[in-house]
Amino acid sequence: MPIQKLGHVGIYAQDLPTMRDFYTRIVGLQIADEAPGAVFMSSDPDREHHEFVLFAGSPEQKTCVQQISFSCENLEDIVGYYNRFKDNNVRFRSVTSHGNAVGLYFFDPEDNVCEVYWTTPWKAHQPYGVAVDLTQDLEQVKRLIQDDVKVYGDTGHRDPDSFVRQKEQFEAAGIRT
């Protein structure tokens, strides 16, 4: 019997009300159910009861995750999150092209690394990381990613200097990093 998909992720929250507010108001998840010490959330509760769960943690119960990623339908959705996160003073890590996806990496109120991402139509060997400027025309952004994948898709690609420039752009735009 093979696994069909990842069903849901649950993490501990040291400040459950703050985390509940962040994931509903800022990220946009909907509450499917709630109980003392637990909040069950989904992007579409009619389709999937819960995809993400917050549990009240104690000092001994801390979550250690590399990242929490949320899939979006298109690049315009990522730009929408970029603006929403900027407007709500969410701390950014980066906006990254992985060739096969574009991810906006950010930190939740308890410093868990999170990502909203769009899967591109292109294939790219990993690791692959190039900074993306979502303030540019989106058709141009897609062309730049596609052109980069044509060159580096078979080998992977890392451009650390692009992230240095991106951090400077974030700071100039008043985005917390």
The whole-angstrom separation of Cα 69 and Cα 40 is: 16
pLDDT in tens, the chain (177 residues): 676 777 889 999 999 999 999 999 999 999 999 999 999 999 999 999 999 999 999 888 877 888 999 999 999 999 999 999 999 999 999 999 999 999 999 999 999 999 999 999 999 999 999 999 999 999 999 999 999 999 999 999 999 999 999 999 999 999 999
How far apart, in Å, do the first and last CA atoms of the chain sit? 44
11 has which bridge partners? 54
CA 57 distance to own-chain centroid: 23
The whole-angstrom separation of Cα 175 and Cα 106 is: 11
The whole-angstrom separation of Cα 149 and Cα 60 is: 44
The whole-angstrom separation of Cα 100 and Cα 64 is: 26
What domains appear along the chain, each with residue ranges and CATH number?
9-56 (3.10.180.10), 68-172 (3.10.180)
Helix then strand then coil, in percent of the chain rounded to 5, is 30, 30, 40
The whole-angstrom separation of Cα 130 and Cα 171 is: 18
The answer, yes or no, to whether the previous bond of 127 is cis (omega within 30 of 0) is yes
Helices 75-87 and 138-152, packing angle to 10 deg: 120
Q: Global pTM?
A: 0.91
